[in-house]
Chains A and B, each alone.
Chain A
Amino acid sequence: MSLFSRFMDGWRKYRKPGYYDEFDYHWTMAIDLDKCTGCQACMTACQAENNIPIVGEEELARGREIQWIRVERYWEGEYPNAKLSFIPIMCQHCDSAPCETVCPVSATYHNQDGLNTQIYNRCIGTRSCAVYCPYEVRYFNYYDHHWDSPLEQQLNPDVTVRGKGVMEKCTFCIQRIREAKDHAKDDGRRRVQDGEVQPACVQTCPSKALVFGDRKDSENEVSVAINDPRKYRVLDELNTDSSVFYLKKVDA
């Protein structure tokens, strides 16, 4: 192999997300907008699972909310033909994530499961990932947040409490994925089975609008969902190659 082609080969690999030729799992979420009722149970479930701080009214007024998953609302038309649609937006775990390239210290990277991960310990707080993210799903810790005692007793011991100066975002509940993998290993299985792991938002969704699974298994629910003719990805034109698929709302 010539030096040049070796270089080009390395370059292509370097340009690939996380430098992986193939992911172990390819975690994917599908959200059926025709089922979503905008109830925001996913938001509270996420807040409970992931130790998301309570920022207070003053901070919310300054636009400093932290919501790993949020439900956006879009009105169309005017009275009496006004229409409201909801869309849950969380980290889309893009396979070509703009945030991953910009972090100067590689605090955010793509892991072997196709997840876009954030390493809080490595983060120096340039916030550039939040600028580069077109989905605006990265939230910054402007303070050390605090929980009025004894609310802190609820904190999930499997998830870090993030300190000031650190960026945070949806992880697809990586602690649950980790746990499921451990269970699979304990049971002598090689792989996590479908349905064994569900992020908090998917688990709680009252209308079952959210589906989660490994895209590499072509039989499971999520693979069926992402092959639905209604599937689309938000801001797909930006070529982020996201792992969250939406199913179009049906207008009948």
Chain B
Amino acid sequence: MVAETNNLGYTDIHEDVVRSIVKTGPKYYIALATAGGTTLLCFFFPWFYQLYYGIGAAGMNHPGVWGTYLASFIFWIGLSHSGTLLSCVLHLTNSSWRKAMYRSAEAMTLFSLVVAATYVMVHVGRPWFIHWALPYPNQMELWPNFRSPLMFDVMAITTYITGSTIFIYMGSIPDFAAVRDRTSGWRNTMYTLLSLGWRGTDKEWHRLHWAYTFLAVLIIPLAVSVHSIVSWDFAMSIVPALHQTIFAPYFVVGAIYSGTAGIVTVMFVLRKYMGFERYITKLHFDNLGKLLLVLSLLWTYINAVELFTSWYSGTSEEYEAVGFKLFGFYAPLYWEMILFCAVAPLLMFSTRFRTSFMPMLILSIVINIGMYTERFLIIATSLPRQYLPDAWGVYVPSAVEVSIMVGSFALFTTLFLVFVKIFPSVSMYEVKETMATPKLGSVAPASGSPA
């Protein structure tokens, strides 16, 4: 069913993938150095400056006490969504086209979560006491506040990170074993450890599949709940325009939406620069495009509903919030968001558009810019204009915030670049599953087909 992979042999897959791990060209090093350097310069340096100086280095004020840090946090959590969630859903629905790209997607999840968790540290005023938010027995006999939506959030995200890590790791074990058998030296040692003594017996395959499916089932509600809980950070408050029941589905849809767009971006990069043209094909883009389109329509619908509810309430608070969003200081950003997230994706009704790589890349980036804007607007248009008009203000991000935002992308890229050198970034055994059974004599010791 995957047309273009049919002319591949198992060996080709192994060689391609192992090559991507073992053979490292100067381009990679340049990319890594650039990403790492940018991370250091744009993320860690401003952050340390902020730690030394105080959160005042960012643009937050009274009453706009939350800002881009939290917007970025939601953005990264959102981006994290599609990876694992998509992978799980597609795994359960047996969509075989997922197989070429799900490993990267899951990695994206993991690293997005890591970046998001880092953002929590960047966001709080005293990150050196962040462990107080974790429930652990301590000599102060103090527990966190379990009534707090933020506490739910801490729980949800730690669970999600744990689940995603296990999921991606478990799915990689056969591939680690495959790489183990083709490498030597320290790599061999490392992959020996990572593959947990995988031998590829039927029993092992059986257990892997069972556990994998079990986790997939488990992670879907988890992913949905994580973003619902993130939305509760806002929706459980009584801030006008945030205190809405639609927030949980809104955030979940938004998360999957931006995450899916993110996968398109990453797939394009993998395909183009990591030499995976043969595995990531038009078909993937076409299918993801359809998914994106549906999500875009859903997102638009929820936005419209949100506006309607606010308008229908007729209270000054909601009225002002909507008015400020649509026509206020940040109105240009709002309309940009509508253009990027609701209008532009309509192009994907065209099959030609969906199957063209470059337009899809641009669209996926545009969608994520729009989605970042959405997260920013949620915070920047509601918090500074709450109940008491005399206390109103405007929140404008500072250079430090912008820098840290840029740096967070570099951090993500750095983590991803490290990842592709350790993890087989395309799931070898699952790609093989999609192929015709090879002729005898093919070298595939670590990947007995699970017939």
Contact = CB atoms under 8 A, between A and B. Distances in A.
B237 A98 contact: yes
Given A64-B56, A130-B63, A165-B55, A125 B126 contact: yes
Given A72-B391, A143-B54, A127 B148 contact: no
Interface in A129-156: 130-132, 134-136, 138-144
Given A104-B145, A104-B148, A136-B386, A124 B124 contact: yes
Contacts of A123: 125-126
B53 A143 contact: yes
A74 interface: yes
Interface residues of A, number: 46
Nearest to A71: B390
B133 A165 contact: no
Interface stretch (B97-105, B149-157, B210-218, B296-304): B149-157
Interface string A39-81: 0000000000000000000010011111000101110000000
| Interface of chain B, main secondary structure | loop
A102 B346 CA distance: 39
A102 B147 CA distance: 7
Nearest to B129: A124
Contacts of B440: none
B342 to A, nearest CB: 27
A131 B56 contact: no
A142 B133 CA distance: 21
A47 B402 CA distance: 34
B71 interface: no
A238 interface: yes
Given A124-B129, A126-B150, A102 B237 contact: yes
A89 interface: yes
B123 A73 contact: no
A140 B65 contact: yes
B55, B62, B132, B151: most-surrounded residue (chain A CB, <10 A): B62
Given A132-B238, A165-B124, A102 B149 contact: yes
B236 interface: yes
A244 to B, nearest CB: 13
Interface in A59-118: 59, 62-66, 70, 72-74, 89, 98, 101-106
Contacts of B129: 105, 124
B64 interface: yes
Contact of A103 (B61, B66, B148, B391): B148
A212 B328 CA distance: 41
A234 B387 CA distance: 10
B62 A136 contact: yes
Contact of B150 (A63, A70, A89, A128): A128
A160 to B, nearest CB: 15
Contacts of B151: 104
A99 B236 CA distance: 11
Contacts of A36: none
B238 A140 contact: no
A63 B394 contact: yes
A36 B389 CA distance: 19
A127 B133 contact: no
Contacts of A216: none
| Interface of chain A, main secondary structure | loop
Interface string B32-65: 0000000000000000000001111001111111
B239 interface: yes
Interface in B281-296: none
A143 to B, nearest CB: 4
Contacts of A106: 142-145
B126 A74 contact: no
A73 B59 CA distance: 26
Interface string B206-243: 00000000000000000000000000010011110000
A218 B192 CA distance: 77
A131 B389 CA distance: 15
A183 interface: no
A164 interface: yes
B383 interface: yes
Contacts of B56: 59, 64, 142-143, 164
A200 interface: no
Contacts of A142: 54-56, 60-61
A135 B55 contact: no
A72 B387 CA distance: 12
Interface in B114-170: 123-127, 129-130, 132-133, 142-145, 147-151, 154
B124 A102 contact: no
A235 interface: yes
Contact of A125 (B64, B124, B149): B124
Interface in B64-103: 64-66
Nearest to B391: A136
B126 A103 contact: no
A59, A123, A140: most-surrounded residue (chain B CB, <10 A): A140
B132 A166 contact: no
B388 interface: yes
B184 to A, nearest CB: 48
Given A127-B66, A128-B237, A142-B56, 19 more contacts: A63-B63, A64-B61, A70-B391, A104-B151, A124-B124, A124-B129, A124-B133, A126-B123, A127-B124, A128-B148, A130-B62, A132-B239, A136-B62, A136-B391, A140-B60, A164-B125, A166-B125, A166-B126, A238-B387
Chain A to chain B: the 10 pairs with minimum beta-carbon distance, closest first: A125-B125, A165-B125, A142-B56, A63-B61, A164-B54, A72-B390, A165-B126, A127-B65, A104-B150, A136-B391
Interface of A: 14, 59, 62-66, 70, 72-74, 89, 98, 101-106, 122-128, 130-132, 134-136, 138-144, 164-167, 234-235, 238
6 contacts: A64-B62, A124-B126, A125-B125, A127-B66, A167-B125, A235-B387
